Structures are given as structure tokens and as C-alpha cells.
Amino acid sequence: MADERDEAILSRLDVMAEYQLLGVRFATDEPRSSGVIEAYAIDREERRPSAFVNVNTGRYGDSASGKNYSLWEFSSTFGNIGVRDWKEARDHYAKKVGVEYRKTGIGKGMSLPPPPGESSKEKSPQVKVDRKPPGTKKPRKGTDDPATQLEFFPWDAGHERLANMWCVKHKKGVSVEAIKLCGGQLAYYPCRVNKETKERIRGETKVIALPCYQSTVQAIPVAWVLWALNGSHLRVYRGKDRPADLVKMKSVGPTRGTMMGLAGLQAIQRSDPAIVAVIKTAGPSDMLAVISAQTHGMRLLFPVVTNASSETGDILASQVNLLRGRKVILSHDADDAGEAGIEKWAMALDNHCEVVQAVLPYTIEKKGGKDVRDFIVDRRGVARA
């Protein structure tokens, strides 16, 4: 979340115009009501726009690569405004719009010059921005902009080898190629901002992060599913004075109603004529395993997606609309939760889709039953660690 100073600067900037000056090409002339406007990626040539700018928050996102920048980070990375880092970039824009500070310290005692036509002798009121409309519930910490908890870094050769080792040792049946097809990125986690100095502190854990989309891939991911790159556990905090849970996979951001599998979602939303059926798996690990087992041709015929909020999570209208009119193959775990999830999805898609259940050759267990990744590994004869 932007602090008070960021909001003051952004409120006086024409964010769209500033990004155009930095070299961003937009696909339309006006942003949507949400403030998001489609754009072409800054770092590659493309026929269809895969990047986006939110003119309200000033953030640039790239759904194909998962990159996400504030205006300050973007301008210091891609711009030519003569700054060395995001802090200098923010100062540059603050000066441009006349945001000034008293000596009480950064972020405190902020005042703005009076609008044109008003007396400069009048004391400028402190800027106060309502983050949420009256009556709305305050979101759980960390869900407003999950990308702020991550610091993405590129897929270089060394890190790709580490990701391959993670697949071999910790996620049998999964390939690095499948991770990338699902929009997977590498990042440091958990990142945070020091409340006093405003310095961004890099997280100590390197993670594989898969994006989750609320309604369309033509938007910035609203959540990310994470695995530690070294195979260690991640902490899930349950509240003050309560011990943290240690998990192999966790999410940051609100996953309710979200979908995963970037390449598959893009194919569905393009209405590719080659699609025979959509495979919807129980979760992200299964999704990655199925994609890894497919040939290139099979991926065109059978795009693979999943929901991010567990097998029995809520199913929203946007998820049903995504699959409407398609043949959908449901593949869930061989346990009670998997059976409940199959029934829930079959009922939700009834009268909207042709639904087929992929029956795994395993006994239905009470909990922790085998899944489609187990089936793929067993068929291939891959030994488990």
C-alpha cells in the first residue's frame, strides 16, 4: 500500500501521461472504472497487450511475466529521468507536483501548495485519503497488494537449475517449463517496509510464485501461491501469541474465487478453436504435473487450470462464466475432500458445461488420498524422494 506521501504525489500526477513519457504504449485511451488500463509490455515486442497500469495506485503489472512495479520502481528501472533508485524517482515526482515536507521527518507534517487561484498565504491542509469507502470491512493484513510482499528476480541459469532441483526432489512429475507456462516467477519473501525509515526490506526466502487471477488474466494478479525454492517450510501466522504453522505451500493475497494456469486461462479467454476440453485439477501441484506430462499439441487441445482456494473452496460466478459452454474434465484427489470438491464443481457447472470426472485408480481415503500427480509419477515409474 502506498503511504500518505505516495498518495499525495499520485493524486496530482497524470499517471497515464507519465507512463507514456517513460515509453509505455497503451492499448486504449481511457482506463476502466477500476483504474486499470491495458498496455504493451515495456521490455518486449508483442501484438497483444499483456501489461497493465492502474492509474489510481500508479502500479505497472505484466501478467505474462508476473512483474509488478510502482511508478517509482518502474521509472528508475526503465525510465530516462536521471535517477538511481526508486527513492530518487519518488523525490523527482514529488518535486514535479510540488509535494513538500516540513522538518518533522519523512511522511510527517506533509503539506501541499494551494491550487491555482487560491491564496498562497492560506495554510494548506494536510492530505488525508480514505483508503476504503465508509462501511467497508478492513481487509486482512497483506491482502491489499500481495506483490508488495514479494521482490521478483529473473530466471537466470543458476536459479533455473535450482528450480529444476526443486522439481526433481520435492515435486516429482513437475517441470520448470510448466511453472513458466503458468506464469511462475522467482521472488524473495516475505518483503516488508520499515515503518520508521520507509526502507524496503528484502525477504530472506527465495520462492517459486504462481499468480492467481480474480476474473481475467488481463489484470494484475490478486494473489500468489508460493513454495520455498529450497524445499523448506513456509510460515503461516495464526495471530498474536499463537505459534505459526509450517506448510510446504502457502498463498499471499485473497484466493477466494481465483483461477490459476496462465497459459490455459489465456487460451480459454481467447476462445482458441483447437480446444477440445478444459482440464480443471484439484490444485496447483496437480495442474503443474498435468501440464508437464502433456506434449505441446496436447496443451493446445486440453488447456489445464485450477482454482486457488482448495478443492472445496467457494465457486464464484466468474469461475463458472470462464468455463461456460466448454467440456470440462474434473480431476480431484482420491479422498473425502476430493469427492466433495468434484460434487461441488459438477453442481456449479451443471447446465453451463459438459462435465466429465477423471476417475483415478485409487481407493478413496478419508484424508490425504492420492492425486493425479501420483498417477503421473506412478505411470512414469519415477521414484519418490
Domain of residue 227, CATH code = 3.40.1360.10
Most confident of 44-53, 173-182, 219-228: 173-182
Domain of residue 29, CATH code = 3.90.580.10
Does residue 135 lie in a domain region? no
Structural domain ending residue among the three candidates 95, 111, 127 = 111
Percent of the chain with pLDDT over 90: 48
If asked whether residues 200 and 341 sit together in one domain, one would say yes
Mean per-residue pLDDT for 354-371?
92
If asked whether residues 212 and 358 sit together in one domain, one would say yes
- Indicate the pLDDT class of residue 381, thresholds 50, 70 and 90: low
pLDDT score recorded for residue 133: 44
Does residue 102 lie in a domain region? yes
pLDDT score recorded for residue 112: 45
Going by C-alpha positions, the residue among 282, 298, 304 that lies closest to residue 374 is: 282
Question: 3-class SS at 248?
Answer: coil
User: Beta-carbon neighbour count of residue 354 at 10 Å?
Assistant: 11
Mean per-residue pLDDT for 6-23?
89
Q: How far is CA 78 from CA 6, 15, 285, in A?
A: 19, 15, 34
Q: What is the pLDDT of residues 346-359, one digit of tens each?
A: 999 998 999 999 98
Does residue 214 lie in a domain region? yes
Mean per-residue pLDDT for 62-72?
79
Q: What is the pLDDT of residues 70-94, one digit of tens each?
A: 898 899 898 878 888 888 898 899 8
Count: domains in the chain:
2
If asked whether residues 223 and 95 sit together in one domain, one would say no
Which range marks the domain in which residue 68 is found? 4-111
If asked whether residues 319 and 213 sit together in one domain, one would say yes
Structural domain ending residue among the three candidates 66, 86, 111 = 111
Distance from C-alpha of 54 to C-alpha of 365, rounded to nearest angstrom: 46
Percent of the chain with pLDDT over 70: 84
